[in-house]
Chain A
Amino acid sequence: MTASATLEVTDLNAGYVPGVDILSHLSITAAKNAVTLIIGPNGAGKSTLLRAIFGLLKPSTGRVVFDGKDVTGANPSTLKASGVSYVTQDINSFPLLTVEENLLMGAWVFRRDAPRIARQFEQVYAMFPILKEKRRDRAGSLSGGQGRMLSVAREMMTSPSLLLIDEPTVGLAPNLVAQVYETLAAARAATGAAVLLVEQNVEEALPLADHLYLLNLGQVKAHGPGREFDNARVRALVQECLLG
């Protein structure tokens, strides 16, 4: 394991149906205090990779090591308790609970530690003041952008050391894309977490990337420091993937 790596995925195979692997011998690492960007055409296995890391999908073979501990196939609750948070694609909230109750759910893993809960609330409300204003409103009444903000904020309640983020801007209006990226930048700055970001919106995400992986058909097609990739190179690589 490399010295600065928070997450190391080695030779991972995983899929939704027994015998049919979406990820095939896939290996990646994600470093502390850095954004690792995962891109690739549809069906490359980007979201599947995040699900397999977080334990929502059990890998058939391979290893997932987080902070030096083997967490391959561990339950999401174990991953969460050890400092991993997963922000899913869509708005991932509890629409009938209030904003405050939603955030309280984010504190589940340390629910018996009242002082820590109060501290985390303060921190999250400082990061997202609009959520404090709307804390008594039902989550379902928030706008699309605010809904995503709440999804991120709930995952920030544990001050994670690794954030898995799946296409945070998919389906959003362009003015909201900037808002979501601001949210993510604020979240990362506050915690110094390692971020593993899956994104289709390459142009927006590329400037954030410290390291980049391009996936195709469940394998790493290209990878390297973010600065070595520009839009033109990424486009050419994706085209290669699509045309075979």
Chain B
Amino acid sequence: MIFSTELLIQTVISGLMVGVLYALMALGITFIYSIVKTINWAMGEFYMIGSYIQFVAVHFLLGPRWWWLAALISMAGTFLIGLLLEPILIKPMYSRPMQRRDDYATVVTIALLLLLRSLAVALGGPYQYRPESDLSVIWIGPLPQEGARVAASVCALLALAAFWIVIKKTWIGLALRAAAQNRIAVQTSGVDVYRLDAVAFAIGVALAGLAGALLAPLFMVFPTNGAVTSVKGFEIIVIGGLGSIPGALIGGLLLGLVESLGAAFISSPYQNVYGFLLVILILIVKPNGLFGERGREA
């Protein structure tokens, strides 16, 4: 491998660009955990649903020019699916007397993962699809970047900014931040905590759906396409710390960078290994993750 400054800069930029998208996924996982106190193992399947909606919207309905509208529809679609599924699947964890809540949530979300994957195979077959993209190569200085990749990263950044505004500047955001700290106090304040759980779950899966939609032209659309991305999401959670929003963002960027640098300067077939090496390193140096809490209950 010949080292050059141009290659380094290009690698860093492309690592950060994919890192923002990983961060979107990790943010969804960590956000759901911080409010509902459960890990949604079916997160990758919401990514997959987002990518399918994107494909159908671009290929059959809107055309490649309207890819951004399709991405918004994918996000809204996964949000609605989350909003409908949470009261059926996750709510009983709190609304009924239950001794092993974590076990319940794990079994239910893994069952959901299998159901959604099977549904995708049943409806679309085991094939790979790709929504058309007419975005041309974009030059950042002297360096070329794939148009779809740049567009996806910019949209992911916009989504992160919108998320920040909702969380910091709205009543629902205040209630969500409050619920992450004290579920009882949220209830004594008069918030319908079950409805809040459903909204938090829907926002979390909508972030995954958006990531799926934005990455669809690059990583393709097929029933198990969410598996790799959700594994990366969980890697980021380990790196950044479970329940930490800054951890999800920084962790996402770090993972993107490490993968990209490793692929460019060491060996590209091992791209996925570098992330795991980073995870192992973090576990040794800071077992709770960069921004993680000291421990979790139960």
| A binding-site residues for B, Cβ under 8 Å | 16-18, 54, 56, 75-77, 80-81, 85-88, 92-97, 101, 104-106, 108-109, 111, 151, 154-155, 158
Contact = CB atoms under 8 A, between A and B. Distances in A.
B223 to A, nearest CB: 39
Contacts of A97: 174, 177-178, 181
Contacts of A88: 184-185, 188
Contacts of B194: 75
Contacts of A109: 190
Nearest to B196: A77
Given A92-B184, A92-B185, A93-B185, A101 B174 contact: yes
Size class of the contact patch on chain B: 10 to 19
B171 interface: yes
A94 B177 contact: yes
Q: Which one of B97, B171, B185, B187 has the highest number of Cβ atoms from chain A below 10 Å of its Cβ?
A: B185
Contacts of B186: 105
B4 interface: no
B187 A111 contact: no
Given A93-B182, A111-B171, A76 B188 contact: yes
A132 B97 CA distance: 40
B190 A108 contact: yes
A80 B193 CA distance: 13
Nearest to B99: A17
A8 B140 CA distance: 71
Interface in B159-216: 171, 174-175, 177-178, 181-182, 184-194
B187 A77 contact: yes
Contacts of A56: 184, 187
Contact of B192 (A75, A85, A106): A75
A81 B177 contact: no
Contacts of A105: 174-175, 178, 185-186, 189, 191
A109 B190 CA distance: 6
A77 B190 contact: yes
15 contacts: A54-B188, A76-B187, A76-B193, A77-B192, A77-B193, A80-B190, A94-B178, A96-B181, A97-B174, A97-B178, A105-B186, A106-B189, A108-B171, A151-B185, A154-B189
A81 B190 contact: yes
B293 to A, nearest CB: 12
A173 B186 CA distance: 27
Contacts of A76: 187-188, 190, 193
Contacts of A80: 188-190
B193 to A, nearest CB: 8
Given A95-B181, A96-B181, A97-B181, A104 B188 contact: no
A135 to B, nearest CB: 15
In the A-B complex, list the 7 residue pairs whose CB atoms are closest, starting with the nearest: A80-B190, A109-B190, A77-B192, A76-B187, A94-B181, A105-B189, A94-B178
Contacts of B193: 76-77
Given A88-B184, A105-B186, A18 B177 contact: no
Contacts of A154: 185, 188-189
Given A76-B187, A97-B181, 6 more contacts: A92-B185, A92-B188, A93-B182, A101-B174, A108-B189, A108-B190
A155 B189 CA distance: 7
Interface in B47-93: none
Contacts of B187: 56, 76-77
A16 B97 CA distance: 7
Given A17-B97, A105-B174, A111-B171, A94 B182 contact: yes
A116 B288 CA distance: 43
